[in-house]
Amino acid sequence: MELKANILRIERLSLSDGKGMRTVVFFKGCPLRCAWCSTPESQSGQREVYYMKERCTGCGACIQVCPEQALRRSEKTGEIVRDHSRCKQCFQCVDACNYRAQQIYGREMTVKEVMREIQKDEMFFFYSDGGVTLSGGDLFCQTDFAEALLEACNDACINAAAELDMFTSFENVKRIVPHLQMFYVDVKTMDPEKHKKWTGQDNACILENIRKADAICAPHSIHVRVPLVEGVNDDVENIRKTAQLCQELKNCQELEFLPYHRLGLHAYRQLGRNYQLEEHASMSRWDVYQKMGFLCETDWMFDIAISGLEVYKAGIGKTGVTEEVLKA
């Protein structure tokens, strides 16, 4: 039986998910529930319906065909409201909507189908030293498929990278990491209690898997990312401990801080879900630098960046990035 996976989407010509031009394959399914998650549509491993109110004409066709009576019209706004406790994701509302206001997140695909999409950009990979990046969600929710896809990429001599949560068994890590030329791993916070509070899971196995992966990965292939969120993980102690973790890893190439943003808010509304950090303001690179800039005064064996902009170079020190650039 041919392997299949639920793929959220495939994005082409990305410049921010590894070296060169990348095709990014987003897997559905994630064991974490990060309060700041910018892709809530990737969390469920199943296909799911979302609602685009700006396309809705209010015709009510979706309400009429729903066998579970899970849809109704809001008396206040006129929008279609879904009762998720009733909805069975049968997708009859999607078929009934002529205006594509009801749509589906996720598509079942085979390895061959995904490879067909990836190989459309092989010329760009060649000339830009790019390749494919597997993202999510979390590919470890569909490890068999991810492993088969990476083997196909390796056979086709396509550079492979991935974004990993590492909340899985080390047996799964061993199946994936050796196929990667580089990988990103998120370290949300070093504090186990805070990690459980803000993601729903403990971080013990994540940190253990990062350290173990360091022994089996390609040289200098680990890129640690920290999505910095005010009041969650932006304290000096957490930032210093994260840097110390990176210093322990012989193959850590870079520690990158990602400023908190609210770009996922629209997706939460489409899914009819509440956003936990509704009151949090987005952060700029300068906001982040003011939190972690003290790291640049110490010698580290890895580079430090803020959202792709290098502020510290291993063996050299500060890169001289100005306040104006960080505020831009």
What is the DSSP secondary-structure string of 63-74? HHH-TT--EEE-
pLDDT for 16 equals: 87
Q: Is the Cβ–Cβ distance between 190 and 241 less than 8 Å?
A: yes
**Domains in the chain with CATH codes:** 4-44+107-327 (3.20.20.70), 48-105 (3.30.70.20)
Q: Is the Cβ–Cβ distance between 205 and 173 less than 8 Å?
A: no
| Phi, psi dihedrals of residue 54, rounded to the nearest 5° | -70, -20
Alpha helices in the chain (DSSP H): 61-65, 92-96, 111-118, 122-128, 143-155, 170-176, 192-199, 204-213, 236-248, 265-270, 285-292, 323-327
pLDDT for 278 equals: 87
Give the H or E element holding residue 284: none
Q: Is the Cβ–Cβ distance between 161 and 22 less than 8 Å?
A: yes
Its pTM stands at 0.92
Tokens of 29: 């399914």
pLDDT for 1 equals: 78
Distance CA 328, CA 325 (A): 5
Distance CA 179, CA 165 (A): 16
Provide the residue-wise pLDDT of the chain in tens; the chain has 328 residues.
Answer: 799 999 999 999 999 899 999 999 999 999 999 999 999 999 999 999 999 999 999 999 999 999 999 999 999 999 999 999 999 999 999 999 999 999 999 999 999 999 999 999 999 999 999 999 999 999 999 999 999 999 999 999 999 999 999 999 999 999 999 999 999 999 999 999 999 999 999 999 999 999 999 999 999 999 999 999 999 999 999 999 999 999 999 999 999 999 999 989 999 999 989 999 988 999 999 999 999 999 999 999 999 999 999 999 999 999 999 999 999 8
- Pairing mode, if any, of strands 131-135 and 159-164? parallel
Distance CA 220, CA 137 (A): 24
